């Protein structure tokens, strides 16, 4: 998928109020099909005021959205989430997180994507695996 087509998919995702509220940044598609992006820590993302730690809810939304974007890049448009599993490995601290999503299997009706999330120090803080429909809607 070319950069312009991927930019249009990202713009479509960001029209969603929920995705827009997350405030993801620097979303890109690598030549290997890997999607990367960043999530800055906002006050509404904090586990507790002043903790500098992300709450699991916004982190889960970030993981789901980056995974969906990886599948969307492979099939040419957004797809529904079927299942999402997340293992939180350690507290995710700010100022921002980085995610890397790779489609592991792209079948006729279902796609599986693995998503790794890293803190600003490069430590792995969460691992997600999403199952998505594989036909763009």
pLDDT of residue 137: 67
pLDDT surpassing 70 at residue 7? yes
Higher pLDDT, 72 or 3: 72
Cβ–Cβ under 8 Å, residues 103 and 70: yes
Q: How many domains would you assign to the chain? A: 1
Segment 50-100, tens digit of pLDDT:
788 899 999 999 999 999 999 999 999 989 999 999 999 999 998 999 999
Cβ–Cβ under 8 Å, residues 131 and 112: yes
pLDDT of residue 70: 97
Q: Is 113 helix (H, G, I), strand (E, B) or coil?
A: strand
DSSP-assigned letters across all residues of 47-99: SSTTS-BB-HHHHHHHHHHHHHHHHHHHHTS---EEEEEEEE-S--BSSEEEE
Query: Percent of the chain at pLDDT above 90?
Result: 84
Q: How confident is the model at residue 1 (pLDDT cuts 50, 70, 90)?
A: confident
Rounded CA separation 19/96 (Å)? 16
In the DSSP assignment, the letter for residue 101 is E
| Run of H or E including 12 | helix 3-14
The boundaries of the domain holding residue 55 are 3-133
Segment 101-128, tens digit of pLDDT:
999 999 999 999 999 999 999 999 999 9
Segment 41-57, tens digit of pLDDT:
998 888 888 788 899 99
CATH number, residue 20: 3.10.129.10
């Amino acid at each position: 998928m070319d950069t312009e087509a991927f930019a249009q998919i990202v713009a479509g995702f960001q029209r969603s109020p929920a995705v827009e509220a997350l405030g993801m940044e620097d979303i890109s598609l690598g030549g290997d099909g890997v999607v990367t992006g960043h999530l800055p820590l906002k006050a509404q993302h904090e586990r507790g005021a002043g903790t500098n730690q992300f709450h699991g809810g916004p982190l889960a939304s970030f993981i789901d959205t980056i995974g969906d974007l990886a599948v969307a890049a492979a099939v040419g448009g957004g797809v529904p989430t079927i299942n999402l599993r997340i293992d939180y490995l350690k507290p995710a601290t700010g100022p921002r997180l980085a995610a890397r999503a790779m489609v592991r299997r792209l079948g006729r009706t279902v796609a599986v994507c693995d998503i790794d999330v890293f803190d600003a120090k490069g430590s792995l803080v969460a691992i997600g695996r999403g199952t998505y429909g594989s036909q763009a809607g």
